[in-house]
Amino acid sequence: MKINKRYISAFAALLLSTAAFAQVPAPAAKQSKPVLLKGATLHVGNGTVVENAAVGFDNGKITYAGPQSGANLSGYEVVDVTGQHIYPGLIQPNASLGLNEIESVRATIDWREVGDLNPNVRSVVAYNTDSDIIPTVRANGVLMTQVAPIGGTIAGSSSVVQLDAWNWEDAVVKADEGIHMNWPAMLVPTGNRQQDERLNRMKEQREQTLRELSQLLSDAAVFKAGKNDAENLKLSAMAGLFDGSKKLYIHTNYGKEIIESVNFVKQFGIKNIVIVGAGDALAVADFLKANNIPVIYSGVHALPSRAEEDVYNPYKMPYLLHKAGIQFALDYDLSIHGIRNLPFIAGTAAAFGLDKEQALASVSLNTAKILGIDKQAGSVEVGKDATIVVSSGDLLDMRTNNVTQAFIQGRKIDLNTKQKYLYEKFENKYKAQQKQVPTGATTSAGK
């Protein structure tokens, strides 16, 4: 079949026009002029909804958020987003985003350190701003994350980053804000002799781990209280736990483990505690409230942990936690590729009892409060960072979620992804082929 050179040239031009998006988009330049978005429905993030609203921002900070009729348009570049929705940028807590790229390639995995007690490990210094996964997350409205390590009893420290930066130093919103502890699992006898012998050995190992943990916390408390000229990276990294400047994130699900772990660390004067995972949070709700402990719930899109539970129980859990008066936020567990679905777990929670605006808060303002960044992020309010999302549909609904614009600290970010690039590439390929083929003919690709 004779191929028209004109079509080849057109096809090549189309490929060249999209080739620039094959890589991670370059970070946006600093905001250079005031911008005002007008005409959209504003979802503030604190439960308030404003119809026909306007949001203005300058130098990366929000200067106006309210009814369009009250906005001063003088000096602003006005962007009409009538019929769309404005939301705060969503925040994913407890994530390995930027620490793990390809699980089958060891060189791209940097989310844990060798050893069991590593409070001095700083996950943020391994954060890769050029991760191909980051653009896919931003495209669904997730603009910030808590980069957290995994592994061992004390995994290390986490930091909060925004997702548009050249390097980890530029990305940091709040550095080393907490230490992550994986609580050793309780062991229950099975009645099987061979299995119970193995469990007894594991129990001995658990008791040894708890003794070592107790010694480390005791040493860290003494180190914090005294005047020490000698440098000790492990102990100095934990100092903030004793004055409340750092949070202790305890990863556990079982109700008895939640109570045991909290009582254990409180012996050493640690009070700023967050439970991560929190599968049994509802069963120990009174204990959590009495100790003023928030939770990061990880299991919305999961099956129940017990056979006798309602299969929809994980979907209902955010509503039940809210009803019980427990401060909570939602995360999408450690699946880095799944973080882009963070808005949809909030949507699931809204479909199973939680108010839609409360569901939004569970992935924005609630998370910001738990992470200690609510003075600058989590809601669309004057004085906070202009980290906002514009969607033509409901951000929490996977059928209508369509992020048309996003801003991080006032910078309009590039929403292109490798997936979008590949879609356009092959769409253009087959369109070009269809133009080449006479009516009734079949291409080799179509055989």
Q: pTM of the entire structure?
A: 0.88
**CB atoms < 10 A from the CB of 367, how many?**
30
Bridge-partner residues for 236, per DSSP?
A: none
pLDDT band at 338 (very low <50, low <70, confident <90, very high): confident
Q: Minimum mean pLDDT among 104-118, 175-189, 240-254: which range?
A: 104-118
Residue 387 has pLDDT above 90, yes or no: yes
Instruction: Assign domain 5-88+416-446 to its CATH architecture.
Output: Roll (2.30)
Q: Which of 140, 25, 19, 135 is nearest to 428 (CA)?
A: 19
pLDDT band at 99 (very low <50, low <70, confident <90, very high): confident
Residue 241 has pLDDT above 80, yes or no: yes
DSSP code for 100: B
**What mean pLDDT is predicted for residues 234-251?**
94
The dihedral through the CA atoms of 360, 366, 369, 371 has a sign that is: negative
The more confident residue out of 118 and 231 is: 118
Contact 439, 153 (CB under 8 A): no
Q: Minimum mean pLDDT among 58-62, 63-67, 98-102: which range?
A: 98-102
Contact 100, 151 (CB under 8 A): no
DSSP code for 305: S
**CB atoms < 10 A from the CB of 443, how many?**
12
Contact 304, 292 (CB under 8 A): no
Q: Report pLDDT for 417.
A: 86
**What mean pLDDT is predicted for residues 378-392?**
98
Q: Which of 227, 215, 214 is nearest to 260 (CA)?
A: 214
Q: Give 20-50 pLDDT, tens digit per residue.
A: 445 688 999 999 999 999 999 999 999 999 9
List, by residue range, all CATH 3.20.20.140 domains of the chain. Answer: 91-377
List, by residue range, all CATH 2.30.40 domains of the chain. Answer: 5-88+416-446
Q: Report pLDDT for 7.
A: 45
Instruction: Assign domain 91-377 to its CATH architecture.
Output: Alpha-Beta Barrel (3.20)
**CB atoms < 10 A from the CB of 112, how many?**
18
Distance separating alpha carbons of residues 321 and 337, to the nearest angstrom: 26
Q: Report pLDDT for 176.
A: 96
Is residue 114 left, alpha or beta, with left meaning phi > 0 and alpha meaning psi from -120 to 50? beta
Q: Give 406-447 pLDDT, tens digit per residue.
A: 999 999 999 998 888 888 889 888 888 888 766 665 555 444
Q: What is the mean pLDDT of the chain?
A: 88
Residue 295 has pLDDT above 50, yes or no: yes
Distance separating alpha carbons of residues 364 and 256, to the nearest angstrom: 29
Residue 227 has pLDDT above 70, yes or no: no
pLDDT band at 91 (very low <50, low <70, confident <90, very high): very high
